[in-house]
Amino acid sequence: MTPERPDIKYLFEPRSVAIIGASHSPDKIGYKMVENIVSSGYPGPVYPINPKGGELLGRKVYAALAEVKDEPDLVCIVVPARLVMGAVQECATAQAKFLAVISSGFSEVGNIEEERKMVSFAHEHGMRVLGPNIFGIFSGPGRINATFGPKDISAGKVAIITQSGALGIAMIGRTAVEKIGLSAMVSVGNKSDLDESDLLEYLIRHSGTAIVMMYVEGIKDGERFIRVLKEAARKKPVVIIKAGRSRRGAIAAASHTGSLAGADNVFDAIMKQCGVLRAENLEDAFSWTRFLADSPMPSGENAVIVTNGGGIGVMATDACEKFGINLYDDASVMRETFGKVTPDFGSLKNPVDLTGQARASHYTAALESALASPSIQAVMSLYCETAVFDSENLAAMIEQSVKEYADRQKPLIFTAFGGAKTEAAIDALRQKGVPVFSDVYEAVSCLGALYSHYRHCSSPPEPIAEISLDLARMEQILQKVRQDRRTFLLAPEAKELMAVVGIATPASRLARSLDEAVKFADELKYPVVMKIVSKDIIHKSDVGGVALDLLNPGEVIDAYQAILQSCRSLKPDAVIAGVEISEQVRPGAELIIGARRDKIYGPIIVFGLGGKYVEVLKDVSFRAAPLSRKEVMRMIEETRAYSLLLGVRGEKRKDMDRVVETVLKLGAMVAQCPSISDLEINPLVVFEYGQGATALDVRVLLNP
């Protein structure tokens, strides 16, 4: 029986710590670790371990962990990779809880087996592993700097988790420059055991952490990551920077869904779905983090711009549109709020223009008025350096306004743009930790990030739509396919599967002779469609296996012969089961709906404009299943297909409910039926409201 796993709290708040590989040489990492732990004022016992014994930085050095009469909560391992397993065994005997394995030389250089052995041994002995290949962990709550990074880390409210060590150490430096205090900085390295999700579970609950920033390169258990992120982002902002936006990671697959679902598209969509703020670069990530860590949450959507320059106001207005910030425009409230504090030739519309003759006192008056107005819930204040402004009062005015807004819990974001005097004011303010920006766009993007988080937190959690499927009947169909050693379903099988889950397909019959073709076409009523059915032909049109719009028996006879002839000549070895005769479906909006089981993130759904140009148009949106109905609606709204469904050029509204239902069903099929790897309907033809939809072409792939 595997022993119980220790509470993650003891990684962040260890009651005692040992360092295996504590070195007497000041230039070694093992020395630096002990130095940082001791100098960070860690309150618990510290046990440096080194066969040479002696004393190090005033602490007794133990020749082996076995000599320590304690069960350390945290052991930092700082010996060469080949010695790590021995050290881990020592930790097991000492009943340690968490191991921070600093050493490099494991899976990152292909030494996967050694890493795996280390983790399974650790688990067998009730221990968890951070790393290997890390620079360590700094924890504010534990008052410990168990890293070999900078010695002085200022404590604060921001937690950072990083997969890259070097970048992490650089980030510590950057936080110091930007006056961002840290509640935690954790290097996860190879993530052999503990990963972002484990750490988030602690950080979500840690009251001293206001915001979590993560640098991520790859995710191992995406389904768990999604679950944890969904919970985390409702409690505090989570900012993520993920490297690897290129399409290289896109998985080649036999369906559109696969090729559309480039790894980064999917990641991006999932982060939005979870309410996580994804930054494109480090600059944004730091700006957002710095601002969100201190800013109060808005109490509503109404934002106002106060400026002394028209141009900068217009730039801010444009940025507001991009970042989804609602500029308040109730003329009477604006007049009431700003009328007395704006010159006659200024503007009371949003942006409120105090004009180029504004001085610090004018800003103070306008900002106080906005602060007092319950209708205004956030303010962006912009300053463009002018000759008449009393620059000596700029810093004090900004500091005072920021304080008053913070006291009254209303977000205020300040931008000041200009020459040396303005830059000096900005520097002085930043030194004091007062948020002020020199770039309007950056400032508005921060407010945009705050609003994204606000909206996510203020929308109530949505219930996941329950879809019950007849899994036993589905399995019967799939069983036959597997018996036939196929990993894809033939058209009649796919139709049968759709019938089981209640997705309509065109009425059809399988004709095995010319006579049958004519007879079935008569029964189905003209016009009809004909398609080749063969387990050896997946792409039917490519081999001339499809004929549309057949109006009479003569055309059916010709098409039947042409299809067989073409398929036999282009695919001579194909075993042909017959030709499917289907009713020709009347026109409607054509959509693609796909679901696939992603190796990392589990069931993923794609929705968009259908037809043969889907891969060119790429008008699609993604989500991770399971979904709520509202989330499906948001997914639809993100695409141009939404306008088609609402009806364009006098067309009637389409059957949106049926579309939502179909998306949910496909998601549920992939989620609940592990043998299905890919499902795709393209096109799903959607008719007018109340008249449903029909899946014209259905592709189902099974896991090999």
Interface contacts to ligand ACO, rule CB under 6 A: 20-21, 23-25, 28-30, 49-52, 78-80, 83, 86-87, 102-105, 133-135, 165-166, 169, 187
Q: Which residue's C-beta sits nearest to ligand ACO?
A: 165
Q: What is the 3-state secondary structure (H, E, C) of 479-518?
A: HHHHHCCCCECCHHHHHHHHHHHCCCCCCEEEECCHHHHH
Q: What's the distance, CA 380 to chain centroid? A: 28
The residue among 109 and 464 lying less far from ligand ACO, judged by its C-beta, is: 109
Q: Cβ of residue 176: shortest distance to ligand ACO, in angstroms?
A: 17
Q: Rank residues 187 and 391 by Cβ distance to ligand ACO and give the closer one.
A: 187
Measured from the CB atom, is 61 or 532 closer to ligand ACO? 61
Minimal distance, residue 619 CB to ligand ACO, in Å: 41
CB of 283 to ligand ACO, least distance (A): 22
Q: How far apart are CA 313 and CA 384, in angstroms?
A: 10
Smallest separation, CB 18 to ligand ACO (Å) = 10
Cβ 186 to ligand ACO shortest distance, Å: 12
Q: How far is it, in rounded angstroms, from Cα 585 to Cα 697?
A: 12
Is 170 or 396 the residue whose CB approaches ligand ACO more closely? 170
> In this structure, what token pair is assigned to residue 628?
């709520």
Could you tell me the two tokens for 243? Answer: 């490297």
Query: What does the chain come to in residues?
Result: 704
Any residues with CB less than 8 A from the CB of 539 and at least 6 apart, and which? none
Q: Give the E-state strand segments of 266-357 in sequence order.
A: 277-279, 302-307, 326-327, 352-353
Q: Work out how close the CB of 49 gets to ligand ACO at its nearest, in angstroms, rounded to a whole number.
A: 5
Q: Which is nearer to ligand ACO, 20 or 494 (CB)?
A: 20
Q: How far is the CB of 149 from ligand ACO (least distance, A)?
A: 8
Residue-wise DSSP of 169-220: HHHHHHHHHTT--EEEEEE-TT-SS--HHHHHHHHHH-TT--EEEEEES--S
Q: Which one, 33 or 450, has the nearer CB to ligand ACO? A: 33
**Smaller CB separation from ligand ACO, 166 or 331:** 166
Q: Which residues of 432-462 are buried (b: 16+ CB within 10 A; e: fewer)?
A: eebbbbeebebbbbbbbbbbbbbebeeeeee
Q: Coil, helix or strand for 326?
A: strand
Q: Output the CA angle 350-351-352, nearest 5 degrees.
A: 90
Distance CA 637, CA 191 (A): 37
Q: 615 φ, ψ to 5°?
A: -70, -25
Under 8 Å between Cβ of 624 and 658: no
Strand pairing report for 211-216 and 238-242 = parallel
Quote the least distance from Cβ 434 to ligand ACO, whole Å. 32
Is the CB of 50 or the CB of 694 nearer to ligand ACO? 50
Alpha-carbon span 664 to 133, nearest angstrom:
42
Which residue carries 């759904």 as its tokens? 605
Which residue, 166 or 424, is less far from ligand ACO as judged by CB?
Answer: 166
Interatomic CA distance for residues 447 and 248, integer angstroms: 33
Burial of residue 273, with CB atoms counted within 10 A of its CB: 0-12 exposed, 13-18 middle, 19 or more buried: buried
* Omega prior to 527 cis, within 30 of 0: yes
Nearer to ligand ACO, 24 or 618 (CB): 24
Query: Min. distance of Cβ 121 from ligand ACO in angstroms?
Result: 16
**Residue 187 beta carbon to ligand ACO: minimum distance, rounded to whole angstroms:** 6
Task: Compute the least distance from the CB of residue 211 to ligand ACO, in Å.
Answer: 23
Nearer to ligand ACO, 134 or 382 (CB): 134
